[in-house]
Chains A and B, each alone.
Chain A
Amino acid sequence: DAKTTQPPSMDCAEGRAANLPCNHSTISGNEYVYWYRQIHSQGPQYIIHGLKNNETNEMASLIITEDRKSSTLILPHATLRDTAVYYCIAMKTSYDKVIFGPGTSLSVIP
């Protein structure tokens, strides 16, 4: 599985869009980009995933660059409850082992 790199921490003002970047320059053609988040001591929560097209669901939007070497998770209107560690991972299928890196610790500030 491709290695991903993310900034260790970010702040975002409540109500503003949170844009979380992820670099996956070694991603292979059959690997999907998945995003999960984990609020302290709770189970990871699936957010969104995509292959090459931009994706949107009720939680977030995922923008993948045309060369697929990086992506951005967008939380359109961040709330205090979005404060969590966000993990970007590359997996071939859901049957791959989920392997989290350090992730990005997002703090939403009132």
Chain B
Amino acid sequence: KAGVTQTPRYLIKTRGQQVTLSCSPISGHRSVSWYQQTPGQGLQFLFEYFSETQRNKGNFPGRFSGRQFSNSRSEMNVSTLELGDSALYLCASSLARFTSTDTQYFGPGTRLTVL
């Protein structure tokens, strides 16, 4: 079974631009979570989607947004990019069977560099 895929893998943008990142979960998985990882802050939760609805949101400004489509694929958008947005953006998917034996599986990440 194919794993979580993220596109693009690498991205270079300049301050003020916007960016859209894409995540395709493992087939059959219905929940998608997004995380930002930086050397200074570690892994930080952005938001989680299930059945096209945002169920949970982390402490990030409104410039960070996301959505999920009916096929469970998800996108996240960052507008008005700042230098501090440079990070590895990770997507994780899970079956969302509402059982505690479920597991989040991460994708390879998108490395965003803001110049």
Contacts and interface: CB of A to CB of B under 8 A. Distances in A.
Nearest to B31: A95
Contacts of B92: 98
B107 A97 contact: no
A56 to B, nearest CB: 16
Interface stretch (A2-10, A11-19, A42-50, A67-75): A42-50
Contacts of B99: 93
Interface in A30-46: 30, 32, 34, 36, 41-46
A99 interface: yes
A32 B100 CA distance: 8
Contact of A43 (B45, B55, B90): B90
A92 interface: yes
Nearest to A44: B106
Nearest to A93: B100
B13 interface: no
Contact of A93 (B43, B55, B102, B106): B102
B100 A42 contact: no
Chain A facing B: main interface SS: loop
Which among A46, A94, A102 has the greatest number of chain B C-beta atoms within 10 A? Answer: A94
Given A93-B102, A94-B103, A100 B96 contact: no
Contacts of A34: 103
Contact of B103 (A42, A46, A92, A101): A46
Given A41-B88, A43-B90, A100-B43, A94 B100 contact: yes
Interface string B50-79: 000001101000000000000000000000
10 contacts: A30-B100, A44-B43, A93-B102, A94-B96, A94-B103, A95-B31, A95-B94, A95-B102, A100-B42, A102-B42
Given A51-B100, A93-B102, 14 more contacts: A41-B111, A43-B106, A43-B108, A44-B106, A45-B106, A46-B104, A92-B100, A94-B94, A95-B94, A97-B33, A97-B56, A98-B43, A98-B45, A98-B104
Interface of B: 4, 6, 31, 33, 35, 42-43, 45, 48, 55-56, 58, 88, 90, 92, 94, 96, 99-100, 102-109, 111
